[in-house]
Structure formats: structure tokens, C-alpha cells
Structure 1
Amino acid sequence: MKHQIFNDQTKALFRMVYDEATLDRNFYGRDHKEKLLTIAWNRGADQNITIDKDVFIFPANTIHCLMVSETFQLEQPQNIVAWQFSREFYCIVDHDKEVSCVGFIFFGPPKKMFIQLAENDRRQVETILQMCQDEFENRDRIQGDMMQVLLKQLIIIVTRLAKQQYINKDSLPTDKFDIIRKYNILVETHYKNQHQVKFYAEQLFKSPKTLSNLFALYNHKSPLLIIQDRLLMEAKRLLYYTDKTAKEIGYDLGFEDAAHFSRFFKSRSGQSPTEFKKINFTRS
């Protein structure tokens, strides 16, 4: 089934998909106009999920959050429940004080988080699913408001579980973790033009060393690697899905010239942009 609410005036879109034989997203093609975040719940057995050409195990009874620009395919889409929503429907940045998910389950580091549901958690998510199904039967003027409430509850549950499973609160209390989240948001916003940690440290009124110490507590990746990983991810996407040259991609990502971009790409991926595109074009 596929249900959705769309407001012609505000362009707000909320969609729920379940028990469907097809569920995928092609951001650089068919779906480019739909800027949707996705919360996907695997209700079946373990299956593969392909995200930007990389294959991951999507474990049974887990939830995974997908970004607007991620292209994905699922091995068994009929076992997936997906909630998809646009910024106009519910802006997680504007409502971060309510849900505290930005810079973590969304707009966070490249690490893929598959969030496990215990029996009680599963019942909560099933209740939200059932309530969403019921609300889609009620075509009234407050339907969108009710869906926003249910979506917010879902995001809060997923964020809380992700923190329990991926964050050590003893070594990284909330105030310190919020700095990391803010850093991730800033990187997502400025990575194409700002490649050095100093810029982000200044925005957060912290020293680069302080940020390095915090990230060591979190995931052992340096703040600089977070920036470089985001640049590499976007470079790969543009090489995968567009006809842009390495020179054009380097320019889009803020590199001074094509040679500088090529050196960066090869140092981080082990291949030149040309080699990478040729190998992946052959595979596809």
C-alpha cells in the first residue's frame, strides 16, 4: 500500500509505503524533485539494501534512516515499512529541540546505523503504523497535523534507541554530544566550500583540538575525516549518477583545480576519479 498527503500550496509531502513489491529511490534520476527523508523499518528477515551502489545487510526488525540524496534499492521491499517526508511537511532542523535527531540519525556521519527494536519498541512502532493507517482513512483538515504528531513520535523513538545503541553516555554526555551533532550539521551545510576544521571550530566557538577530543570519544574519526568522508561520498555519487567530468565535480565540491581534486580522491579511495568511474560503469 502507498498512502500520501500532499499540499499543493506549501508542497508539503508525507508518504507511507508498506507491503509493496517496489520500494526504491533514484535521487539523481526519477526522484530528484522529491526531497524526502526516509525512515525504513524491516519487518521481515535479514535482507540486502543497496545505498549508492554499496551493499549492506539490513537486519530483521531494525530501522534505518536514509537521507534525501541517497539512492537505494531493497532486496525484499514487501517487508519494508517506509515513512517519507519533505522539509515542508516536518522540518527536523526547525524542530530539533523536540526530536534531537539532526546531526545524528539524519545529517550525521556516513556510518550506517541499523537500529534494533526490542519487543516493546516493536509494539510502539506498530502502534504508530496502525494509527497512521487509520488517519489516512480520515480525510479532514487536521489530518496533516495528526500525521506530524505521529511522525514526531516515531522520530523520537528512533533517536532514543539509536542513542542507547550507538552512544556511550558515560563518556559522551548530552551537552558534548550536541556539539558533535552541531558539527555534523555544519559540515552537511558547508562541506562544498569549507574543507578545514578551523572554520567549523570557529562557528562552534571551540578549538580544533577540543573537537578532535570529542570525536575521539564518539567514533574515533577526526573532525577532518568527517569533512573528507562527506566530500568523498558526494564525489562518488556524482561520478556514479551524472555525466559530469572530474574537473566539473571538483569545481562543484570547492577544489581549486582538477589536479587537486584528483589527488584528494585517489588518496581517499585508492583510485583516480577516471579509474573509479570506468570500473563502476563496467560493473553496472
Structure 2
Amino acid sequence: MKFEFLDYKLGSIFGLTDDIKKEHHNFSLTSGTINFLWNRNKEVLEIKIDDIPVQLQPNQLVTTTYLQHVSYENTNLPLTSFLFNREFYCISDHDSEVSCNGILFFGTQDLPIITIPKEQERKFNTLYEVFLDEFSTPDKIQGDMLQMLLKRLIIITTRLAKEQLVVKRLDNDQIDIIRKFNVLVDTHYKTKRKVNEYAELLFKSPKTLSNLFSIYNQKTPQQIILDRVALEAKRLIRFTDKQNQEIAYELGFNDPAHFSRFFKKTTNYSPSKYREMQEILA
């Protein structure tokens, strides 16, 4: 089963399928998309995100963005997907918390895997049925209706994410600072490598950021910045034909040797050794 809404003028797409492994190449637009992946089976299934195996328990959701490489090679059960691009949903008048830069789409933090509680399964299943019903009603306002339903999905999933993923000692304002920090890192990691640069953009002190992240998780803001650079380096080595020197310059390193030292320090492998390992595993 596959449905899609496509607006050629805007280049926007919203799609729904109950088997993304089978259908992910059959949508009109396949790049630059954001996904809700939902295991609606009664068994565990596996996907790979940036070559890391991820197991989804029954009634678990994970969100992925166009920054990540998702593989369904080892997925042996149907996996439901809601997919869309920024042209469809991420417009400026959406509330920041439920926009594509919201808490579900950090990009630099651990994967946001959300468990649908038993008492909320009916809510999610009903919303799924409403999506199906809307796809069977093509008219001039179908895009608006699908956008409203998507926002509803993002809102109820964001609420669960706040309960399950974020330490409850943080209030909403503090969570918002963390969210904005991660968005800024995704935007500027090639040119800004120091915490104080992000602190200035957030009108906060570096110490405030450090204190927040010490509550939120074990990574410091500086480590998050460096991990984001290393992650992009691994993606470029693994999924492109670019040579180490090209990757170094693309990531803002003036000297390829400096990039090599950075990569080995953060991954324990030189770029060349990491490339060889990926070729062996491919």
C-alpha cells in the first residue's frame, strides 16, 4: 500500500506506506525527506541508520531526516512510514517546537525512539485510519488536511518524546535551549567548532549550556559539536566517492592532515583505514 500527495509547483510531497522497504523507491521524490518509521507489527524489526543496526520494538516510532542514511536491507517485516519534505510542512509559520527543527528531529542527539504506550495505541491507530481516509478524498484542500494531520502526529509524538527522552528536571524553556543548540550545530558545524560561538547565538553563557547538558545526557556541548563533524565525515567516506582531502575541505579543515588527526582521535581510525573497513563490510 502506497499513497502520496504531490504538489509539483512547490516541489512538496507527503507520503504514506505500510511497507517502506518495498515502496521507498516508488515515491515521486525520494531525497530530502523526513520520515516517521512505525513498527506496527507484533514482533521486533531491524533497520540500519548510518550503518548502525536499530531494533524497533512493537509500537515504537523513530524519526529520521535527510541527514541520515537509512537501510532496510535487514528489515524482514512491513514497516509503516509517513514521509514528507520541508516544502510540504516546514514553513515559517509553524510553532518551532512542532516544526522540522523540533525536538523529534535533533539530528545530533541519540535517535529519538518513542514507545507508544498501551493506553495511546488507539489514538495513533485512529489517526492512521484518518490519514488513509483523507487519501481517498482527493480535492483542492487535501494538502491542507494532510498537513493538519501531520501536525497532529508531530504534536502527540512530541509529547511522548518529552516524557520519554528528556530528563524531567528540565522545564520547557530549558528543553527549547537544547533543541535550538542542536539545530544550530546541524546548521553551522562546518564553520563553528566552539561552544562559546553557539552560546552567543543563543544569548546564553557557555556555562549555562554545559549545566543543561550535564542534566540532559552525558555528552558535553563541545562533544556534541565534534561528534556532529565526525558523523558527517563518516557519512561522506561511507556513502560518497569523495577523497579524504575533499572531505577535509568540505568540513572546514584547512589542512587534510588536521582532518586526519581529528578523525583518528574521534573514531580511533584514520580516514583511510575507516574507508578500507567499510569497503570490506560492504
Deviation digits for residues 67-113 of structure 1, max 9, x if unmatched? 11222123336431100001111007652346266352103433122
Say yes or no: does 1:40 pair with 2:32.
Answer: no
For residue 55 of structure 2, give the secondary structure of its aligned residue in structure 1: strand
Maintained 8 Å contact 1:22/1:78 = no
> For residue 228 of structure 1, what is the aligned residue in structure 2?
226
Tell me how far 1:32 sits from its aligned partner.
Answer: 8.9
Deviation digits for residues 199-250 of structure 1, max 9, x if unmatched? 1011011111111111101112100111111111110010001111111101
- 2-side partners of 1:276 and 1:108: how far apart? 22
Choose 61-70 or 77-86, whichever is displaced more. 77-86
Choose 95-104 or 265-274, whichever is displaced more. 95-104
- 2-side partners of 1:159 and 1:92: how far apart? 18
Maintained 8 Å contact 1:47/1:76 = yes
Maintained 8 Å contact 1:24/1:73 = no
Say yes or no: does 1:66 pair with 2:64.
Answer: yes
Sort the Cα spacing of 1:91 and 1:277 in 2 relative to 1 into closer, same or farther, 3 A: same
Maintained 8 Å contact 2:67/2:107 = no
Aligned AA (1:34) = S
Aligned AA (1:14) = F
- 2-side partners of 1:259 and 1:85: how far apart? 39
Say yes or no: does 1:135 pair with 2:131.
Answer: no
Equivalent position to 2:235, from 217, 237, 245: 237
> For residue 2 of structure 1, what is the aligned residue in structure 2?
2
Maintained 8 Å contact 1:20/1:77 = no
Sort the Cα spacing of 1:239 and 1:21 in 2 relative to 1 into closer, same or farther, 3 A: closer
> For residue 282 of structure 1, what is the aligned residue in structure 2?
280
For residue 37 of structure 2, give the secondary structure of its aligned residue in structure 1: strand
Maintained 8 Å contact 2:40/2:59 = yes
Maintained 8 Å contact 1:42/1:58 = yes
- 1-side partners of 2:239 and 2:271: how far apart? 13
Aligned AA (1:124) = K
For residue 105 of structure 2, give the secondary structure of its aligned residue in structure 1: coil
- 2-side partners of 1:101 and 1:11: how far apart? 17
Choose 110-119 or 154-163, whichever is displaced more. 110-119
Aligned AA (2:192) = Q
How many equivalent pairs are there? 279
Q: Which runs of 5+ in 1 are unaligned?
A: none
Say yes or no: does 1:56 pair with 2:27.
Answer: no
Maintained 8 Å contact 2:35/2:63 = yes
Tell me how far 1:139 sits from its aligned partner.
Answer: 1.1
Sort the Cα spacing of 1:168 and 1:160 in 2 relative to 1 into closer, same or farther, 3 A: same
- 2-side partners of 1:20 and 1:237: how far apart? 22
- 1-side partners of 2:97 and 2:178: how far apart? 18
> For residue 249 of structure 2, what is the aligned residue in structure 1?
251
Choose 150-159 or 115-124, whichever is displaced more. 115-124
User: Structure 1 vs Structure 2: percent identity of aligned residues?
Assistant: 43
- 2-side partners of 1:101 and 1:46: how far apart? 27
Maintained 8 Å contact 1:39/1:82 = yes
Aligned CA RMSD, in angstroms, stands at: 2.0
- 2-side partners of 1:278 and 1:98: how far apart? 41
Say yes or no: does 1:163 pair with 2:162.
Answer: yes
Aligned AA (1:196) = K
> For residue 112 of structure 2, what is the aligned residue in structure 1?
113
Maintained 8 Å contact 2:20/2:81 = no
TM-score normalised to structure 2 length:
0.93
- 2-side partners of 1:113 and 1:107: how far apart? 8
> For residue 265 of structure 1, what is the aligned residue in structure 2?
263
- 2-side partners of 1:151 and 1:77: how far apart? 27
TM-score normalised to structure 1 length:
0.92
- 2-side partners of 1:235 and 1:252: how far apart? 9
